[in-house]
Structure 1
Amino acid sequence: MKPLRISLSLGAIITLLLFTSCQDTEKESATMLIYGGNIYTVDTTRPTVEAVAVKGNIILFAGSLAEAEQYKSAQTQLLDLEGKTMTPGLIEGHGHFMGLGYNELNLDLSNTTSYQEIVDAVAERVKKAAPGEWITGRGWHQSKWKEMPSELVNGFQTHDLLSAISPDNPVYLGHASGHAGFANAKAMEIAGLLELSKEGISKFEVEGGEVMRDAMGRPTGIFNELAESIITKHIPENTPAKNIEAFEMAVAACHKNGITSFHDAGIGRETIALYQEMKAKDKMKIRLYGMLTSWDKELLNDWYEKGPMIDSDNLMTIRSVKLNCDGALGSRGAWLLESYSDRPGHFGHETLPMDFVEETAINGLQYGFQICAHAIGDRANREVLDRYESAFSKFPQRVNDHRFRIEHAQHLHPDDIPRFAQLGVIPAMQAIHMSSDRPWAIDRLGEQRIKEGAYMWQSLLKSGIPIVNGTDVPVEPLNPIASFYASVTRKTMQGTPDGGYEPGEKMTREQALKSYTLDAAYGAFEENIKGSITIGKLADFTIYDRDLMEVPEKELLHTEVAMTIFDGKIVYTK
């Protein structure tokens, strides 16, 4: 048989070469060239570079400026940093996206420093409210007040002042932690509480929660953990238009703070539908990593059946489940091994049966879902680690690269610290909580528990497990600079104490930046597409007005986000 011969005319060869050449030129032409500042890549093969070339939404090149210029064409957008500093786009590793948006719309009490300030803020809102309209807000924290009211029950204020200024409008104000709430008399009347006797009120007791009462058995207005639902189920649902407004405000807040990706800790059906609508309308200008709420078991079963959703557009991914296993330390809801130092005999709350935690861990292994369990107290952390370990032992063939997480992991028994690395469980810890909570947390836990097991960042990192950082917004403001500062100084936002609290647990600046970028990406199985300035990864960048890796400590908090680049486009400029 004769060999197959392919012949091409000279003209055809020239045409083919020209076509190929044009393709190569087009392929290698950058849409944006960034240079002129400090660029930290969080890539160990090349920690700093002079320039970055971007093609569309992908990093084309990162290296010297001379080499980068070969990707420049007449159509390339040139971005001179003018001495500013650039890092990979920051990733909020644990927050509540719609909570962020609604915090922008509702009454924001995060900066209040006394009960009277809360009363004054509500009084102003009452003036604008329609008769009977609910007034809602969030952000108060009694342990951060500069002065306390004269009447307290279990360390909390009572509703009398709040009820006096809003007799006709029901009021419900969420604690900063999200694990307690404060209602006025009108709200409790709507819930049917005020007409009940002491014995009748007991019908409203909720396992895993507490209706705070005074010495006479009357409700004080404080509802802890699962008892919050007694009031919240009566609050009218948000309208679709308001949901969209809150979503857009959350996106804008992220861009302003240099956040390009967001781990959304606990979403339900309505929120998922909203996100899908926003993506379809090209309004998804943020990369969301959604954790399914475990409060809706039917929702979980539906997703187990269809499996994870890993978005090829890298905008909306759902492959994890959020479990709420205890409360918060501020409301004394964190589940402890030993009782609270400032409330003897009280151990906090187990807000989810541990049998369900193990069942969910097993389902996660079987159906390919990461499990992310909220655990703040040392008992909650131990119980969750035990349930994870039990699930791993039952399905060893499915344990490889599970990346199960514990959200917060704030207070650990020393014996449990090495178990995170041993089991491959990722701690998602919000450094800003240490800064906000540490001054009063010692009252809850006592000195020994604080020093041996609270906010153990360096101990966990040295054990060989990465840390995912964040703010838990709206529990804390979204500002990543504040959390970065807390990570490397272990001080309050006022710069106290000298040397920081338990300074041996500080992160280095490199570790802190990595916890907000590459390690956060790892915590969502996304380290191959984001988290470092590496060729082939997504073109998400955060640009600062000064060098946060070198600026003196006292100037760190003055650092501001100057620009945010998302998907290869500038989406925010200060």
Structure 2
Amino acid sequence: MILWTNATFYSMEDCLLTYDKVLTNEGIIVALGNDTLKYSNYQTIDLKGSYVFPGFSESHLHLIGYGRKLFSNNLKLDINKESVLAKIKKFYKNEKLLIEGYVNIGITKDDLDLISSDNIIILRHNDYHSFTVNSKVLEMLNIKNSNGIILDDLVSSKITKVWESNDKVMLTKITDYAIKDLKKLGFTSVHTDDLSYFNSYDETIEILNLLSKTNNFRINTLIHHSVLDSFIKYYPNNKLLNPIQIKVFYDGTLSSKTALISENYKNSNNNGKRYITDKDFLNLLKKARSLSKGLAIHTIGDLAFSEVIKLLSLEKKASEMDRIVHGSLASDDLILELENIAIDIQPHFIKSDKEVIRKNINHQTNIYPFDKYNKKVIINTSSDAPVEDPNPLLNMYELNNISRFDMIKSYTINPYLTINKKGGLIKEGYYADFTCFDKDIMKIEKEELLNTKVLYTIIDEKM
């Protein structure tokens, strides 16, 4: 047993309930406050006056992709064309060149060909759904395109296969790096979508299984519908690795004008795309229910959101909750209908999509109505890393219209409610996972969040 002392422990059952000490045993909380005095024969660990919360969960990211971002050449959203081209030239070493963090500022294949037309050059756009490539890539993949700017998701999927081409050793290395970085940010668990993007399901699940153990880190894997049969055949038995909802894409993105919205995009006869038919969606939903699983549906446009909610109502709920990934736009009428669902929100998108929305969206539907969602359903705050920075304190800083208590809930109890696991509260019977800060993030002013540090990340009783 371990007695954790000299700290303020926020239970997260309400905003006021705190304890001065917590006793844990074999990874589970067994006593709180004065109840710990009933026990003896324990190790004591001094948390040095820190402010302790249930272990934080990042509820929607791409773990391996985040690791690759940390290792990659990155333009860091530079929007000066001359500066961007200069950086690309500097990155180029007479071999295949893959670059992240590119904002679509009009660079074309002709610009990239001046750097090299003999070796592959791929710029991944910051929406992580589109690319700009040189002629070499177009020729190699037999893509008919006049300028090398690839916004169509079906064409992008061909380039993704080239982009994701890494051997197992490298994938393991970058994933390990990502986990260590996330632990420094205070995360004790993640909900991640990785299993269909790399060399194979079997190899990817083997990497995650290994690294969850060597890093003592909780990895909850979304099951992309394309690998569902592989998942049914095999999934490792590991208390730190947990299969959660089945992932499916219903529509696209705002930047590529493929998110399905209720009116046409500005200067366009297009209102987005459906990536799955009603028939296929319902077949997948029935299969998920037969496995007692929920769906995790990439849904960005308001029309997509409305259609998804209607389709979900045609089958009984599973014991595992359905979740909407993003939910960027929604009508008031739809929000009133919402119940028994989780929404994975990304506050960073408010800033990063502001210009895209101004240029592309005509109608006056609710845009990122996170405060309205919070009154109706479970919200989980996330980053969609590598798309955005996963640092939870930055997300708290960005989102002002939700109380600090509710923001912290969206990183603690809410992700665990979404997956039916006993984490996210400092309460008897719950995981001995804690995130320890040097300041009281429940009470400090907004500006102080940016100067707050994680002192300790504790997972399964291990610091």
Q: TM-score, normalised by structure 2?
A: 0.91
Residue identity opposite 2:398 in structure 1: A
Q: How does 1:17-32 map to 2 (within 5 A)?
A: 30-31=1-2
**Residues 1:271 and 1:41: Cα distance change in structure 2 (over 3 Å):** farther
Residue identity opposite 2:137 in structure 1: A
Unpaired runs of 5+ residues, structure 1, are 1-29, 143-147, 149-155, 194-200, 202-210, 212-217, 490-505
Question: How many angstroms apart in 1 are the aligned matches of 2:139 and 2:99?
Answer: 19
Matched, 1:286 2:217: yes
Residue identity opposite 2:203 in structure 1: A
Question: How many angstroms apart in 2 are the aligned matches of 1:381 and 1:233?
Answer: 29
How far is 1:412 from its partner?
1.0
* Alignment partner, residue 52 of structure 1: 22
Q: Could you give the per-residue CA deviations for residues 293-335 of structure 1, whole angstroms, max 9, x where no partner exists?
A: 12x2xx323445x59x695x53111142100111111232211
Question: How many angstroms apart in 1 are the aligned matches of 2:107 and 2:279?
Answer: 35
Q: Could you give the per-residue CA deviations for residues 275-304 of structure 1, whole angstroms, max 9, x where no partner exists?
A: 43553573252211111112x2xx323445
Decide which of 140, 150, 167 is 2:102's aligned counterpart: 140
Q: How many pairs were matched up? A: 460
Residue identity opposite 1:553 in structure 2: K
Q: Could you give the per-residue CA deviations for residues 364-403 of structure 1, whole angstroms, max 9, x where no partner exists?
A: 112222211101011211221122122x2xxx4xx35441
* Alignment partner, residue 188 of structure 2: 260
- Is the Cα contact below 8 Å between 2:201 and 2:230 reproduced in 1? no
Decide which of 409, 412, 419 is 1:517's aligned counterpart: 412
Deviates most, 356-365 or 270-279: 270-279
Q: Could you give the per-residue CA deviations for residues 410-466 of structure 1, whole angstroms, max 9, x where no partner exists?
A: 111222112221xx22212122222332354233224x52xx411122222223x11
How far is 1:544 from its partner?
1.5
* Alignment partner, residue 41 of structure 1: 11
**Residues 1:236 and 1:368: Cα distance change in structure 2 (over 3 Å):** closer
How far is 1:172 from its partner?
1.3
Decide which of 406, 415, 431 is 2:347's aligned counterpart: 431
**Residues 1:318 and 1:436: Cα distance change in structure 2 (over 3 Å):** same
- Is the Cα contact below 8 Å between 1:58 and 1:539 reproduced in 2? yes
Deviates most, 54-63 or 43-52: 43-52
Question: How many angstroms apart in 2 are the aligned matches of 1:567 and 1:272?
Answer: 26
* Alignment partner, residue 240 of structure 2: 315
Decide which of 521, 536, 541 is 2:434's aligned counterpart: 541
- Is the Cα contact below 8 Å between 2:135 and 2:148 reproduced in 1? no
Matched, 1:88 2:54: yes
Question: How many angstroms apart in 2 are the aligned matches of 1:125 and 1:426?
Answer: 41
Decide which of 31, 54, 63 is 2:33's aligned counterpart: 63
Deviates most, 345-354 or 406-415: 345-354
Give the match's secondary structure for 2:338: helix
* Alignment partner, residue 206 of structure 2: 276
How far is 1:357 from its partner?
1.5
* Alignment partner, residue 379 of structure 1: 303
**Residues 1:355 and 1:241: Cα distance change in structure 2 (over 3 Å):** same
Unpaired runs of 5+ residues, structure 2, are none
Give the match's secondary structure for 1:360: helix
Question: How many angstroms apart in 1 are the aligned matches of 2:90 and 2:220?
Answer: 37
* Alignment partner, residue 369 of structure 1: 293
* Alignment partner, residue 204 of structure 1: none
How far is 1:97 from its partner?
0.7
Give the match's secondary structure for 1:530: coil
Decide which of 46, 66, 69 is 1:100's aligned counterpart: 66
Question: How many angstroms apart in 1 are the aligned matches of 2:404 and 2:58?
Answer: 17
Decide which of 106, 109, 114 is 1:164's aligned counterpart: 114
RCO comparison, higher one (Cα < 8 Å, 6+): 2
Q: Could you give the per-residue CA deviations for residues 58-109 of structure 1, whole angstroms, max 9, x where no partner exists?
A: 2222225xx5455464x61422333x32111111111101101111222233
Q: Could you give the per-residue CA deviations for residues 131-152 of structure 1, whole angstroms, max 9, x where no partner exists?
A: 4x3211322234xxxxx5xxxx
**Residues 1:120 and 1:51: Cα distance change in structure 2 (over 3 Å):** farther
**Residues 1:87 and 1:115: Cα distance change in structure 2 (over 3 Å):** farther
- Is the Cα contact below 8 Å between 1:170 and 1:186 reproduced in 2? yes
**Residues 1:141 and 1:352: Cα distance change in structure 2 (over 3 Å):** farther
What percentage of aligned pairs have identical amino acids? Answer: 23
How far is 1:236 from its partner?
7.3
- Is the Cα contact below 8 Å between 1:126 and 1:169 reproduced in 2? no
Residue identity opposite 1:408 in structure 2: H
Residue identity opposite 1:103 in structure 2: K
Give the match's secondary structure for 1:547: coil
Question: How many angstroms apart in 2 are the aligned matches of 1:236 and 1:535?
Answer: 43
Matched, 1:569 2:454: no
* Alignment partner, residue 474 of structure 1: 386
**Residues 1:438 and 1:61: Cα distance change in structure 2 (over 3 Å):** farther
- Is the Cα contact below 8 Å between 1:226 and 1:351 reproduced in 2? no
